[in-house]
Structure 1
């Protein structure tokens, strides 16, 4: 669908529209995260790719709700379909800035010809295998097909990738020949693995796997890594490549890194099983992630999602620093659903960042607020950006137990971000937007029924329905509710929602598959258990030291990869060691998950902050430092629930209320220390004392809480005496 079609039925912004409505219209026209891809193709090509995207979405919805498919075939179809669409939609990005564009020189034509010959031969061979086995009922496929298709397929795929690196197509109005070949290779490898290799127990990585199984798996791995490079950058690719190399170099490595090593057939036939690529990350990606991404696409297409933003602006836009406070609600809510920090920054930040700049926030601060709020969405129940589902899959802890436990920590994080924003607004004497430029709260209250999709989702989850059923009901509700608005969902809007849902999920498919490669290597080589043993030795039975190491590993892993993949890898490497030290599994995994998520705003590599900086025009490094400061509570809250399990609703109501109230006071004091504002401007000594008071309330004991509260009261009295009327006036609303 083109951008014009995306705005079908919506009148252009008139002068009498509210400022928010005008900015919303601009956001839909200017900075849609999918716009670059939707403009790539025109006419028949565009309709063709959109139809294939819709088919991908519909396939998943039908399998999840109507016609279940065998797990092996379903997950492979999910990965293979994602690779097929990904290569057609996202053109090759050269490794070198000086690479020539696609042309017709002899080298380019030679690479394409060889790639086409190899992949074409493999296509004919796999077709012969399928025809013999399915149409003719022949038990044994042709010997020539089984023995000779693998090397041409892998070699052809490698040559097509090399062609994309050397001769990337600059004009994306047509499909690149190399990308079409890669899409075909993805279909060939996937078809072979679905229709034949499973009969040979490839999923168990057995020695009886044939050479053809190995070559199909090798092709799948290199295609996954290449698509990840195109969609998520080099960091995750480098990490995955190191793990793959480690599988073969084990006998020559020292210390805990040594292992017996594996031959290619054993390794690749193991990796392409539910122990690796088809394991937990892809299990979640093929169910919960794609379901809720399509749900987010429904909210976007029907404009029901805009209602959340407009309601927040109407309620808080006029307050001190109002647009920033709106960003907390809007970005947190949408980030919870769509499951990607950087993607949500682009989607909601295209509206909130310009509005923050209009009331006086520096571009850097506006981007930082958006990054912190969008990242926080992934720790917000009930969806938690698919994190809760992955955690339930890995640990066996019931989903609802994880969601319930995460309520107070998530509330503390968003309260802390609110405190940071409000204190910064006081410090800079920022005002809100004029009421006449905001949506009318009374009108929006009468449209409160637009919140029905979220209400249905939450009610159904807590009523005990399956997560898939809940997401589907919420999706249907969004469509039905849209019939009460000018943006009624009809066939065209439904087509568009299913189209963009598939486009938005492709990056997550690629990174989850790559995370599966890493997890598979960890399981195959046993490095996870050995690393945990070293962790236990270094921690010397100290749980707090082990948790500190877990924090560092989670942040480092998450700096270069999406949080879903970062958590999956960190949970495999470090969680067993922490649990073996006696830390409750729920506490250990939530702890690791929090820091994997917050790596998106942790310098020096902070993907969410970089996305915000690109929208606001600010310096990426400075933006990442400020977003780290705004989200500082998330680096403290995990230690709070380690010391005080009542924060995870483990205890009686009095213990839970006590830890919740004192934690709020603690994060407020920390926020004041970071912003340098407490009643009025706070000097260095006051800020140090505020930080000490806030940190003393981490443990949750009565004595430490009394110390923190006493420091807060003493400093309040001191500041009230020292702050001049002029300073107080400067900070007034």
Structure 2
């Protein structure tokens, strides 16, 4: 469904970013037309509207709201995304074998039994639960085993006998959507009583079976939308809950019965806990905001503005990627997804002006990943941190300003020095949008400005996000792409599609968080961290960095940070590290895992577009984003980088850290007012590290070392002397 009419060819020439806001279709995503396609679009739009309405006008009880959020997301996810890659070929296999149909029929019997039982429960009791409610029919309480067996058989059928046509719904996935609905109906009905009995000896077998089906559906949808990494980690944690009594050392615990564990995990201590609280509010709100920007094509304006401002400079498309991808990554909150959208434009243009394929992909990956540390939205990271730590959102956003500035300065210096080193030019001005014309449309930045101003005026995050969303629609009326009812409907539909991955991922992360809370392994791991580090904070931070990166490899940032914060942050705080510093440290490395070899999802996404070697691209992206691996240690040693301290100290550390970042980029790229050799690069690296530390003595040493390199460069390594040396 198109949100706006197409541009004329003449206008298209001025719109170099045309198509950057187009929806990216995943390899396993269905695209269904006709009446069924319209019905699915309507369900998606209603899912988003439910959240916007509940957050702003009619708040629901938190458990019921979150259960509906997860259940609706699961149902839509199974309808829209297949268990395997799909084909546009109408001749692709569309029929199952006899065994496939037998398995599907058996699965359907179990799922439909469970769904009918839940519908009967609601109808026979009039939706009234608790004491004094009518007794439901006997068969209602036996729904669990048939539903679990039917769901498991249906999942197995979707794996073994997939329907490959993109334009058709798979009956197996329809059944899985109905199973998700049955689970949601059960938990919504019994929510008041589950608060009292879940995780205790009073839990019912039906609580356990409903939860087991819910966990199975969550892990299967996570596999479809985010890959196997998070599924394997979550499954290991689930197994750990039962094998704990036979494990050694800190891993040992007394063990839990199936009934107690599964009834506990589907509460606000697990799946319905902090991760789902965030995905059901802040994440879906700002994804809807991003969808409004996308549907109104304001996102195109951001990229066009960057091209008009920097596209003509040396290595122009790379600098556009730094600014444009950083801005878009801040809003949509997924590194790899942002690489696919903006990278489809910037990567070919970077290759056109002379960047190597792997460098083009690496620059885009580093910029897109950096968007998640860019305030005020930080890819929803700021809201997750506020929820977990209890620190005010505005305090987190202010603290993030300088580290984000240093990161993007570093990436900018990296791409600029590579352009200098290889004598690259920018794009011809004739191929670029006219800056003067775009400057007249600077009001299109109004949604971002309104968001920032509203937040600092004291409005709630939800109210500020809703105002920004409305502003995106209003400013579109001043462009050729006015958002009418059809475009607004498309924006709500698009928001649901964009949010499904994070809904599944946050629910799966909730499983892990629930196991950590139930078994207490997080506290014991923190104690072990303290013992190993022997009260050495730097060593503890090094371990925290390693754990955050390993968890983040193959996992979206939101899940990686939530899990790492549960396991590592308590130990760091007990060692005396400030809570804000500890959580920022963990969050930074969870983000940077997307560009860290050997599993660098953002770099791999870029390499697919650039047709480069994935491993070489991930190494290159690590090199370009190297500052992000230094900045967290910087703000650990000097809290002024988190805006904590007197203004003159903040100005001092920003100036010296920026110079240190410049020297670091010079050392990595081998360019400091001209090419420099290995020895001088090592001296520059030492100078950079001293400058980054932020003390007066270290600054003096860093400046002295940099001056030494410059002096050698200007006096001993002149072109004439080098030429004589060649004779």
- TM category (shorter chain) comes to over 0.9
8 Å contact kept, 1:123–1:188: yes
Residues 25, 158 of structure 1: alpha-carbon distance in 2 compared, 3 angstrom cutoff: same
Name 1:287's counterpart in structure 2.
Answer: 281
The residue number in structure 2 matching 1:572 is: 566
Label 1:187 to 1:711 Cα distance change in 2 as closer, same or farther (>3 A): same
Contact 1:339 1:386 in 2 (8 A): yes
60, 69, 77: which is aligned to 1:78?
69
Report the equivalent of 1:112. 104
Residue of structure 1 in register with 2:235 after alignment: 241
How far the C-alpha of 1:25 sits from its partner, in A, is 3.2
Matched positions, count: 715
Q: Which residue of 2 aligns with 1:519?
A: 513
The 5-angstrom pairing of residues 199-238 of structure 1 reads 199-201=193-195, 204-238=198-232
Q: Aligned residue for 1:56?
A: 47
Q: Aligned equivalents of 1:433 and 1:295: distance in 2?
A: 32
Structure 1 pair 203–374 and aligned structure 2 pair: CA distance change class (3 A)? farther
Over 3 Å counting, the alpha-carbon distance change for 1:604 and 1:727 in structure 2 is farther
Query: 2:7: which partner in 1?
Result: 11
2:440 and 2:163 map into 1 onto residues whose CA distance is: 51
In structure 2, the partner of 1:134 is: 126
Structure 2 match to 1:618: 612
Say whether residues 1:554 and 2:548 are aligned partners.
Answer: yes
From 629, 651, 668, the equivalent of 1:674 is: 668
Q: Secondary structure in 2 aligned to 1:659?
A: helix
Q: TM-score, normalised by structure 2?
A: 0.96
Tell me how far apart the structure 2 counterparts of residues 241 and 726 of structure 1 sit (CA, whole Å).
66
**Aligned partners of 1:35, 1:238: CA distance in 2, in Å?**
22
Which of these residues, 487, 496, 501, is aligned with residue 495 of structure 2? 501
Check conservation: 2:607, 2:614, Cα contact below 8 A: yes
Q: What is the deviation of 1:172?
A: 2.2
> More deviation in 533-542 or 445-454?
445-454
Change (3 A) 1:306 1:727: farther
Question: Are 1:488 and 2:479 matched, yes or no?
Answer: no
Query: How far apart, CA to CA, are the structure 2 residues paired with 1:727 and 1:214?
Result: 80
Aligned partner of 2:113 in structure 1 is 121
Partner of 2:270: 276
Kept after mapping to 1: 8 A contact 2:84/2:164: no
Q: Is the aligned partner of 1:190 residue 2:212? A: no
CA distance in 2, matches of 1:280, 1:12: 48
Confirm or deny: 8 A CA contact 1:536 1:577 kept in the other structure.
Answer: yes
Listed as ranges, the gaps of 5+ residues in structure 2 are 87-91, 723-727
Counterpart residue number, 2:397: 403
Deviation (angstroms), 1:64:
0.5
1:731 maps to: none
Distance in 2 (alpha carbons) for counterparts of 1:202 and 1:620 = 51
User: Once the two structures are superposed, what CA deviation does each residue of 1:21-64 show, in whole Å capped at 9, x if it has no partner?
Assistant: 2x5335467xx423767762121121111110000010000001
Aligned twin of 1:474: 468
* TM-score using structure 1 length: 0.95
Distance 1:192 1:164 in 2: 24
Task: Please tell me whether residue 24 in structure 1 is matched to residue 17 in structure 2.
Answer: yes
User: 1:331 is matched with which residue?
Assistant: 325
SS at match of 1:406: helix
Say if 2:721 is the partner of 1:721. no
Distance 2:717 2:431 in 1: 35
Alignment of 1:35-50 (within 5 A): 40-50=31-41
RMSD: 1.9
Give 1:130-169 correspondences, 5 Å limit: 130-134=122-126, 139-169=133-163
Answer yes or no: is the 8 Å Cα contact 1:368–1:626 preserved in 2: yes
* CA positional deviation for 1:679: 1.1
**Structure 2 SS opposite 1:274:** coil
Secondary structure, counterpart of 1:34 in structure 2: coil
- The structural deviation recorded for 1:319 is 0.5
Residues 339, 368 of structure 2: 8 Å contact kept: yes
**Preserved contact between residue 338 and residue 368 of structure 2 (Cα < 8 Å):** yes
SS in 2 for 1:533: helix
Q: Is the 8 A contact 2:339 2:606 kept in 1?
A: yes
**Cα-to-partner distance string for 1:601-660 (whole Å, 9 max, x where unaligned):** 000000111111111111111111101100000000000000001111111011111111
1:171 maps to 2:162? no
Secondary structure of 2:17's match? helix
1:451 to 2:445 alignment? yes
